[in-house]
């Protein structure tokens, strides 16, 4: 059975699209299909766009205090 993905907020969108980009990048590394690479970049672009929107929201409201996507490990 396929995994059901549910996004409730921008953080969920960031996580889902980042994971999608990672999976597609792994596929690209295996088969070197440029269409898969393009899809991977689009997923990363979406994750970054959502994170930017979250940062703008943070600047306007002061919440959330941190954005995990931008934190170094």
CB-CB contact of 21 with 44 (8 Å): yes
What pLDDT, on a 0 to 100 scale, did the predictor assign at position 60?
81
* Ranges of each domain in the chain: 10-64
pLDDT in tens, 10-66: 888 999 999 999 999 999 999 999 999 999 999 999 999 998 988 888 888 776 666
Give the tokens for residue 57: 């929201």
Q: What are the angstrom distances between the C-alpha of 63 and each of 8, 18, 38?
A: 17, 22, 33
What's residue 72's pLDDT?
60
pLDDT at 1 over 80: no
């Amino acid at each position: 059975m396929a995994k059901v993905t549910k996004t409730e907020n921008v953080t969920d969108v960031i996580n889902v699209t980042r994971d999608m980009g990672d999976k597609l990048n792994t596929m690209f590394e295996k088969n070197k299909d440029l269409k898969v690479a393009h899809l991977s970049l689009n997923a990363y672009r979406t994750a970054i766009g959502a994170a930017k929107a979250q940062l703008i929201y943070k600047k306007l409201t002061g919440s959330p205090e941190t954005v995990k996507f931008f934190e170094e490990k």
